[in-house]
Amino acid sequence: MAAKKKSTGTGGKKSGNGAPPVNPEVGGPSEPIDFGPPGDTDETMMPIVVLAQYLKDLSFESPNAPDSLTSMSGQPDVNIGVNVEAKKIGDNDYEVVLLLTVTAEENKKTMFIVEVTYAGLFTLNDIPEEALQAIILIEAPRLLFPFARNIVSDATREGGFPPLLIQPVDFVSLYQQHIEAEGGEQTPA
């Protein structure tokens, strides 16, 4: 391993031509930072790899506007539905879809309805078969949730209502309810 020289740089100033600062000890651009061996961040070794995440569908309805915007007298009754779907799309690749449905009502009138379908593509490496379904239905949606939550917040704000911040979802409890509804047996996704 080569010894590293201390770089004094140019005090954060760029040269007049926009080039990177020159390391006066070696006469060229400053050396890149060494973050360790490339194998330390190899994605193929990570058990869960997020390949992509994307908005599949978004719907916002305010069926009683403008009345619902001008007659708000307090906190509306908000009902939130959460569902998770998954399908295998390759050897170790899965699409996991998080569906959020939010309905806000006041005095038995619907103020707004938001439906978000947010998905991610995941590669699962070296996951034991008995843990596969739990990873797909707990960890994957847990990674997707903050992004879907932000979309709901933005949609309600853009719809003229205060932004709705959904509290974190307990995906472990949802998974346990799913297992109980299936008769206590785990089935691979």
Paired tokens of 157: 């704000």
For 21-30, write each residue's pLDDT tens digit.
444 444 445 5
For 72-115, write each residue's pLDDT tens digit.
777 889 999 999 999 999 889 999 999 999 999 998 899 999 99
CATH topology classification for 47-181: Bacterial Protein-export protein SecB (3.10.420)
Boundaries of every domain in the chain: 47-181
Write down the pLDDT at residue 164: 93
Question: Following CA atoms 175, 181, 182, 185 in sequence, which dihedral angle do they give, to the nearest 10 degrees?
Answer: 60
Place of tokens 């070696």: 26
